[in-house]
Amino acid sequence: MNKLAVITGATMGIGRALCERFAKAGFDLVVNARGNDDLVNLKKSFEKEFSVKVFTKPTDVSDKQQVLDFAQFVNDLGRPIEVLINNAGYFVPGKIVNEEDGALESMINTNLYSAYHLTRGLVGNMIKKKRGLIINMCSIASFMAYPNGGSYSISKFAMLGFSKVLREELKPYGIRVTSVMPGATLTSSWEGTVLPEERFIRPEDVAETVYSAYAISERSVIEEIIIRPQLGDI
């Protein structure tokens, strides 16, 4: 039986690149996103191209109950989880002092609480097997402030803290935890930019780096990965 990877926010950008990299390595996938049509298309495409199984469930990860329902969906498969990637998130630029009311709550729900609740819902599966890898998709914004970072930066600082605590708690159970902090990556968040493509990280480069963190010996863990555009931050 193939190993199983659970990936949130799977149909676009880094999420889709992650799905492709793990499917290419022979992993079956359990994935979510808000749009059912995109999930259906991903399932058809990947099952045909990579001969793996793809299990999908439409999920708004900003909604706690939907996240818990997704965790139950995964657990009901009755299969050990090899990799959990908390990738779902979104970015709205702004300043704390004048950004739209509710921006903090919205980005905390999506970027942090979704990972918190899903990890709590699935980690028992991994503890039971005493193996596995959890990847938390953080950001350059997790450790440095920048103009118009606003509530996004707050949520990503918190995500890195969550990841660090999880790493300490799961050491005794053989579960590795890695925080990934990409800089500007060419995804829909940058739609409409006038900057050339070469100023951005490719989503495929992030996915390849994440897979490398999985592929090393279980005796070792890459705790933190920082990826920046070659020409520097934008």
Q: Which of 113, 152, 211, 214 is catalytic?
A: 152
Q: Which amino acid is at 188?
A: S
Q: Is 48 exposed, middle or buried (0-12, 13-18, 19+ CB in 10 A)?
A: exposed
What six digits make up the tokens of 9?
A: 């926010």
Active site residue 152: yes
- What is the CB neighbour count within 10 angstroms for residue 190? 16
Q: Which amino acid is at 198?
A: E
Residues belonging to the active site: 152
